[in-house]
Amino acid sequence: MEASTLSRIGLAGLAVMGQNLALNIAEKGFPISVYNRTTSKVDETLDRAHSEGPYPLTGHRTPRDFILSIKKPRSVIILVKAGAPVDQTIQALSEHMDPGDTIIDGGNEWYENTERRIVEANNKGLLYLGMGVSGGEEGARNGPSLMPGGSFEAYNNIKDIVEKVAAQVEDGPCVTYIGEGGSGNFVKMVHNGIEYGDMQLISEAYDVLKNVGGLSNADLAEIFDEWNKGELESFLIEITADIFKVKDEHGEGELVDKILDKTGMKGTGKWTVQQAAELSVAAPTIAASLDCRYLSGLKDERVEAAKVLADAGLKEEVGAVRTGIDKKRLIDDVRQALYASKICSYAQGMNLLRAKSVEKNWNLNFGELARIWKGGCIIRAVFLDRIKKAYQRNPNLASLVVDPEFAKEMVQRQAAWRRVVGLAVSAGISTPGMCASLAYFDTYRRARLPANLVQAQRDLFGAHTYERVDRPGAFHTEWTKLARKSK
Ligand code: 6PG
């Protein structure tokens, strides 16, 4: 093939995300080659490139043809299911690639798989990037948030492309070189953990407003639209308002009420919680959101439990709409509780990233991470600009909770936050995310905790020793002997 007709980049894997990202790249003027094992997907993508464009996109039916159609040094994005399919795709493509070429995995991959593949690729002289891609179908097509990590040289080869393809916000494109190794995948994983937390907190706000405040779907749509004009302005709040407006085409009322209350998941939230535990970082809000997905899955058991506990005498008023409630104040309180809870959840996610960055020497730039999440991704929100600024003010910030601006906001909102959690607890409406965030705040902000007692217990039964507040060293006490003697 003539050098002039070669594509600038290639993309293999033409399911929803791959197809849309390929069209986005082509639309930005970068000639792209596409490939998929099932060739009907190639035809589909070609049709779309023609009808939505025409865009500079060529379709290929064999790995060899595909690879040879790309200009050297070649950059090839693969967007297939994480795990074994990625290895198979790499195997099929790399056979035809040359030293200096790059493989870019755009899936939600476990970061250690990326680290293994970096080594395998290097052994063949190939470069490798693990690139988190967020924003779903719409983001992929019109501007996602991109989190590439791995070879810096490989990043520089595609920098001009990803900077054009990513979502654009006032302070630049939503992409940056994240760091070495599997850092891009890890950052995307924590993004998803934070996404779980946000979604959980929003669902709790909905539950309280609906089941304590007695608000209708129409009221909720209006409230969320209103919230989306203020400090909570974000993609998830915006789409939630839309969800409340959709009527059920098969019956009375709105569709949201007909959806089975079981949340699915693909695993990135679970990895986030596992990593938090692994690194000894408290992430209770994110963990609560994961637990809630597990509990939601036990639909049949919950239906049974509701019956058993009703028979055991659980009062009807638990979970019933409160009478005489000041709805206007409740709505305002819930907004504040949601915002304060969110700050704690992001603090947990950022601290997990920091712990991993230290462990792996990734040198993550937290202000930059907040910046590239301002647009394109699922957690995009106006509030991320404040997080960016907090880390710009102090790159070594111990926690977002103690950033002077966030600290002030949390203090201002704590009365409302406590009212909402208190009301929910007494009404029997579980708000595990909000409770976890509040408990996190109340634990973190206390100079002294009851951990002294736990240390004493550990020393009593296991001679684990303890430290004292008033002198250095490790101490052990014969607690039982002394206690019984003093009787
Ligand atoms: C994104 C999303 C995306 C996807 C996840 C959600 O950033 O675009 O996070 O990656 O929605 O698969 O995962 P669950 O299926 O686990 O909710």
| Segment (H or E) for 67 | helix 63-68
Strands (E), 31-144: 32-35, 57-60, 75-78, 102-105, 127-134
| Nearest residue by C-alpha to atom 4 in ligand 1 | 136
137 lines ligand 1 (CB under 6 A): no
32 lines ligand 1 (CB under 6 A): no
Q: Return the pLDDT at 318.
A: 67
pLDDT in tens, the chain (487 residues): 555 689 999 999 999 999 999 999 999 999 999 999 999 999 999 999 999 999 999 999 999 999 999 999 999 999 999 999 999 999 999 999 999 999 999 999 999 999 999 999 999 999 999 999 999 999 999 999 999 999 999 999 999 999 999 999 999 999 999 999 999 999 999 999 999 999 999 999 999 999 999 999 999 999 999 999 999 999 999 999 999 999 999 999 999 999 999 999 999 999 999 999 999 999 999 999 999 999 999 999 999 999 999 999 988 666 666 778 899 999 999 999 999 999 999 999 999 999 999 999 999 999 999 999 999 999 999 999 999 999 999 999 999 999 999 999 999 999 999 999 999 999 999 999 999 999 999 999 999 999 999 999 999 999 999 999 999 999 999 999 999 986 6
Give the integer Cα–Cα distance in Å for 178 and 187: 8
Longest dimension (CA), the chain: 95
- Residue 115 annotated to the active site: no
185 lines ligand 1 (CB under 6 A): no
- The structure tokens listed for 486 are 């003093």
Give the integer Cα–Cα distance in Å for 24 and 269: 28
100 lines ligand 1 (CB under 6 A): no
Give the integer Cα–Cα distance in Å for 285 and 15: 33
Q: Return the pLDDT at 11.
A: 98
Q: Return the pLDDT at 322.
A: 73
**Which residues 6+ apart lie within 8 Å of 256 measured at CB?**
217, 243, 244, 246
**Which residues 6+ apart lie within 8 Å of 237 measured at CB?**
202, 224, 227, 228, 381
145 CA: nearest ligand 1 atom: 7
The pick from 134, 186, 192 for probing ligand 1's pocket by mutation, whose C-beta has the most ligand atoms within 8 angstroms, reads 192
Whole-prediction pTM = 0.96
195 lines ligand 1 (CB under 6 A): yes
- Residue 44 annotated to the active site: no
Give me the residues paired with residue 128 across strands. 103
Spacing, Cα 448 to ligand 1 middle (Å): 39
Give the integer Cα–Cα distance in Å for 368 and 389: 10
135 lines ligand 1 (CB under 6 A): yes
166 in Cβ contact with 132 (< 8 Å): no
Q: Return the pLDDT at 323.
A: 76
Residue-range domains of the chain with CATH: 3-181 (3.40.50.720), 188-444 (1.10.1040.10), 451-485 (1.20.5.320)
User: Active site residue: 41, 109, 115, 188, which one?
Assistant: 188
Residue 50, CA distances (Å) to 27, 45, 47 in order: 11, 9, 5
Q: Return the pLDDT at 21.
A: 98
Q: Rounded to a whole number, what is the distance in angstroms from the first to the last CA of the chain?
A: 94
Residue 304 CB neighbours (<10 A): 11
Q: Return the pLDDT at 135.
A: 97
Strands 9-12 and 32-35: parallel
Q: Return the pLDDT at 487.
A: 61
User: Active site residue: 27, 109, 115, 195, which one?
Assistant: 195
Estimate to the nearest angstrom the gap between the alpha carbon of 227 and the chain centroid: 21
136 lines ligand 1 (CB under 6 A): yes
Spacing, Cα 132 to ligand 1 middle (Å): 11
Residue 133, CA distances (Å) to 41, 165, 176, 277, 387 in order: 21, 11, 12, 25, 21
265 CA: nearest ligand 1 atom: 16
266 lines ligand 1 (CB under 6 A): yes
Spacing, Cα 188 to ligand 1 middle (Å): 10
Give the integer Cα–Cα distance in Å for 386 and 176: 18
The pick from 191, 194, 195 for probing ligand 1's pocket by mutation, whose C-beta has the most ligand atoms within 8 angstroms, reads 195
